[in-house]
Amino acid sequence: MSTSVQALVEMRGIEKQFGNVIALSGISFSINAGECHCLLGDNGAGKSTFIKIMSGVHAPSNGTMLVNGQEMILRNPREAINAGIATVFQDLAMIPLMSVARNFFMGREPTKGWGPFKHFDVKHANEVTMAEMQRMGIRLREPEQAVGTLSGGERQCVAIARAVYFGAKVLILDEPTSALGVRQTANVLATIDRVRKLGVGVIFITHNVRHAMAVGNRFTVINRGKTLGTATRGEITAEQLQDLMAGGQELAVLEGSLGGTI
């Protein structure tokens, strides 16, 4: 008897309309525990609108969202976080002049003492920050160093570690490698793989096929607000993914008209 794995989050026929503009027209997508599901698409494909619906920023115009098999409507990002869905956006929401530990616990600071004597527990915050960053494969000089002194890849890893520590079961990463060099990208991709192995479902939003192929278990291509299909690792090549993203037929027609010069 075969048993199917229940998805952590499943989106069925999601539509989103802004006035007369149709941003999404029937997107379906799911994420399982311990999986990296890559959502690929070029700029303007609808990726940002889709993740804003999944993270509670926008409500869908139509469609159904299930979290652990239960139908749910997320009214705001706080409800998404309470449901175990965390998003790491490109701007990372960090304060460069504050320490790594302060940024790690921003808004959820551990305290000690009582009443008027309650204060930030620096020792506990520093210990947790160092341990969690080490778990993600990042060795900090010290937890007191300013976030602004870290590389872009290290800051991404701080944001990822923070989300996982505070209970994310589904982690949405919005183009985490788009502005990074080769070594920093490798660090972030290694961190994604570590998070996946912890049992967290990772949704990796990207337009870089090579980065997706390095860590992805499943791949869904979105184009003009629609999904063009989902493939598992081994079922599709990087070239086929790239063609889907770019609109293979359109490229073939253009290449023919230009005499094969593309």
Q: What is the dihedral of CA 237, 241, 247, 250, to 10 degrees?
A: -20
Q: Is residue 148 part of a domain?
A: yes
Q: Is residue 1 part of a domain?
A: no
Structure tokens at 237: 């090549």
CATH number, domain with residue 249: 3.40.50.300
Sign of the C-alpha dihedral, residues 141, 179, 79, 169? negative
Q: Tens of pLDDT along 208-255?
A: 999 999 999 999 999 888 888 899 999 988 888 888 887 644 544 545
Residue 78 carries which side chain, given as an amino acid letter? R
Q: Is residue 4 part of a domain?
A: no
Distances (CA, A) of 30 to 7, 61, 145, 232, 254: 6, 19, 38, 12, 34
- What span, in angstroms and rounded, lies between the C-alpha atoms of 157 and 132? 10
- What span, in angstroms and rounded, lies between the C-alpha atoms of 49 and 135? 32
Query: Is the predicted pLDDT of residue 2 greater than 80, yes or no?
Result: no
The residue segments making up the domain with residue 232 are 9-257
Q: Is residue 155 part of a domain?
A: yes
Query: Is the predicted pLDDT of residue 262 greater than 50, yes or no?
Result: no
Q: Is residue 2 part of a domain?
A: no
CB contact at 8 A, 47 and 54:
no
- Output the pLDDT for position 4: 63
- What span, in angstroms and rounded, lies between the C-alpha atoms of 203 and 87? 9
Q: Tens of pLDDT along 54-90?
A: 999 999 999 999 999 999 989 899 999 999 999 998 7
Q: Tens of pLDDT along 121-167?
A: 899 999 999 999 998 888 888 889 999 999 888 999 999 999 999 99
Q: Is residue 172 part of a domain?
A: yes
CB contact at 8 A, 97 and 49:
no
Rounded mean pLDDT, 96-113? 89
Name the pLDDT band for 7 (thresholds 50, 70, 90). very high
Q: What radius of gyration do the chain's Cα atoms show?
A: 20
Query: Is the predicted pLDDT of residue 1 greater than 50, yes or no?
Result: no
pTM of the model: 0.88
Q: Is residue 160 part of a domain?
A: yes
- What span, in angstroms and rounded, lies between the C-alpha atoms of 36 and 8? 12
Name the pLDDT band for 258 (thresholds 50, 70, 90). low
- Output the pLDDT for position 257: 57
Strands (DSSP E) found in 32-103 = 36-40, 62-67, 70-71, 85-88
Q: How do beta strands 62-67 and 218-223 pair?
A: unpaired
Q: Tens of pLDDT along 182-217?
A: 999 999 999 999 999 999 999 999 989 999 999 999
- Output the pLDDT for position 42: 83
- Output the pLDDT for position 185: 93
Q: Is residue 203 part of a domain?
A: yes
Counting the structural domains of the chain, the total is: 1
Distances (CA, A) of 185 to 102, 117, 152, 181: 24, 43, 9, 6
